[in-house]
Amino acid sequence: MEKIKIVTIGGGSSYTPELIEGFINRRDEINVGELWLVDCQEGEEKQRIVGALARRMVKEAGLDWKIELTLDRRRALKDADFVTTQFRVGLLDARIRDERIPLKHGMMGQETNGAGGIFKAFRTIPVIMDIIRDMRELCPDAWLVNFTNPSGMVTEAAIKYGKWEKTVGLCNVPIRYEKLCKQAMGIAEDSEELFTKFAGLNHFHWHRVWDKKGNEVTAEIMEKVYSPDSETEFVGMANVMEIPFLYDQLKDLKVLPCTYHRYYYAADQMLSAYLEQYKNHETRAEKVKQTEKELFELYKDPNLKGKPEQLTQRGGTYYSDAACELISSILNDKRTKMVVSTKNNGAIADMPYDSIIEISSIITSHGPEPLNWGKFDASIRGVLQAQKAMEELTIEAAITGDYGRALQAFMSNPLIKHGESAQILLDEMLVENKKYLPQFAGKIHELEEAK
C-alpha cells in the first residue's frame, strides 16, 4: 500500500484524538506516512497538547507514522494527498457570540442555524478560499475533506467559487441517525440489516429506511422513536436540546427528520428553552468551552495514550468514522455508501443541478456518486429550496463582502425576525466580528463611525 500524506487544518481541535483513533482503526486500509496537524497562532497551545497525545496514541498502536505539528500551513500542504478541515475561525469565543447575540435580540442563535450559522460562514469561507489557493499551488491533486461548519455552505463555496471539484463535505449526524434507526428496530449497531437513504442539506436532511426483505420501515421507526407513547429512551445528539417534535406533523411528512429540524418545526419551544440557557450563561458554546478545558487537562497527562471517554460527550462524536471511511473508500475504491455533501447532479429533482446537497452516495475512487432521491413532497420542497437560497446568499456575501447580499441572507433565514430587527442584528454582529471579517471592513468602518 502506498504511503499517503494527510494534512488536518485545525489540528489543535479537541476532537483530534478521535480522528487519530479512526486512522489507527483503519491501519490496514490507510497507510499513513505523514499526518500534519496545522493550526494558527491562537491555537498553538492546544495544538501542542493534542499533538503530543496523538504521538502517544500512534506509538502505543505500534505504528511509525510521522505526526508533524506546524503553524505554517503552506509547509504542511506540500504534496498532500488528503487535506481535512476542522478549524474554527475565532475559536469558541466567536461561537459564544454567534449564540448569544441573536438570543439577546430574542432570536435563535446556533452555530450552524440562524444568524450564528450565517456569521460562521462569513468568517470561514474566505479562509477556505485561501486554503484552496495554496492547495492549487502545493498539492493540486489532493482531496479536500471538509468538516468545518457550516459544512454544507463551506463545501458549496469550495466547489462553486474555489472550483475545487475534489471537495467532499462531511458531518456526523447521519451516522448518529443510522445508529438510532438500528436501536429502534432492535438491531445490533454494526449490523447491515437496514438500508437508509438520506437527502437534503447539511443539518437539514430527511431519511427513509428499508429492511432486508425490502419493506420500508420508516413509519415504524417514526412511531418507535417519536410517538408520544414510546417507552424507549433514545439517545439523541449531545448538542441539540431534545424538544419533542409535533408527532402529527412528522407522521404526515412520511420521512424521518434530523435533530436540527427542531429549530424550525419546534421553533417556539426551542427559542424559549434557549433563552433560558442564555439567561443562565449555559448556551452550548459556553458549556463546550468548559468541557474543552477539562479535555485539555486530560490530554496533558503523559500516561494517557488513547481517546478519553469524555470526548464522546461532544456533539461531533463519530466524525472520524465519516472522515476515515471516506478516505479509505476513495483510496481503495471501496464504494462504501455514505452520506456526504456533494453536487446534486439531479439526485434531488427539486434542486438545482449544481447545488451542494447532503445525500447518500457511493464513494468511489473518483468521489461520491449520489443515489437518486427524486422529488420531495410539498411539505419539504418549499422549505428546502428556501433554505438553499439562503445558503447561496450567505456564500455570496461571505465571498464578496456585499452588505446587501448579507441583509438578504438574513431576510431569508426563518430563524431571524424580518424587518428592522434583522438589520439591527446584522449590524451588531458585523461590528462584533470585525477582526475576522476583512471582506466587510468598509461597511464595519461605516457602522462604527455612525455610532
Q: Mind telling me the catalytic residues? A: 260
Q: Which is it for strands 66-70 and 32-38: parallel, antiparallel or unpaired? A: parallel
Q: How far is the CB of 136 from ligand G6P (least distance, A)?
A: 27
Angle at 328 between CA 327 and CA 332, to 5 degrees: 120
* DSSP states along 365-402: TTEEEEPP-BPPPHHHHHHHHHHHHHHHHHHHHHHH--
Q: How far is the CB of 40 from ligand G6P (least distance, A)?
A: 18
Report which residue type is found at 197. Answer: K
Host H or E run for residue 338: strand 336-343
Report which residue type is found at 155. Answer: T
Q: If you search the block for the grid coordinates 488513547, which residue do you land on?
A: 306
Instruction: Pick the closer one to ligand G6P by CB: 222 or 258.
Output: 258
Q: How far is the CB of 361 from ligand G6P (least distance, A)?
A: 18
Q: How far is the CB of 316 from ligand G6P (least distance, A)?
A: 4
Cα–Cα distance measured from residue 437 to residue 415, given in angstroms and rounded to the nearest whole number: 22
Q: How far is the CB of 286 from ligand G6P (least distance, A)?
A: 11
Host H or E run for residue 83: strand 82-85
69 near 37, Cβ under 8 Å? yes
Instruction: Pick the closer one to ligand G6P by CB: 153 or 217.
Output: 153
Q: How far is the CB of 315 from ligand G6P (least distance, A)?
A: 2
Angle at 114 between CA 449 and CA 388, to 5 degrees: 110
Question: Closest CB to ligand G6P belongs to which residue?
Answer: 315
Instruction: Pick the closer one to ligand G6P by CB: 101 or 331.
Output: 101
Instruction: Pick the closer one to ligand G6P by CB: 176 or 182.
Output: 176
Instruction: Pick the closer one to ligand G6P by CB: 107 or 173.
Output: 173
**What is the separation, in whole angstroms, between the first and last Cα of the chain?**
62
Cα–Cα distance measured from residue 193 to residue 294, given in angstroms and rounded to the nearest whole number: 39
177 grid coordinates: 441517525
Cα–Cα distance measured from residue 73 to residue 38, given in angstroms and rounded to the nearest whole number: 6
Residues that bind ligand G6P (CB under 6 A): 149, 171-173, 237-239, 284, 288, 314-316
Q: How far is the CB of 220 from ligand G6P (least distance, A)?
A: 26
* DSSP states along 113-169: SHHHHHHHHHHHHHHHHHHHHHHHHH-TT-EEEE--SSHHHHHHIIIIIS--SSEEE
Instruction: Pick the closer one to ligand G6P by CB: 46 or 56.
Output: 46
Burial class (CB in 10 A: 0-12, 13-18, 19+), 263: buried
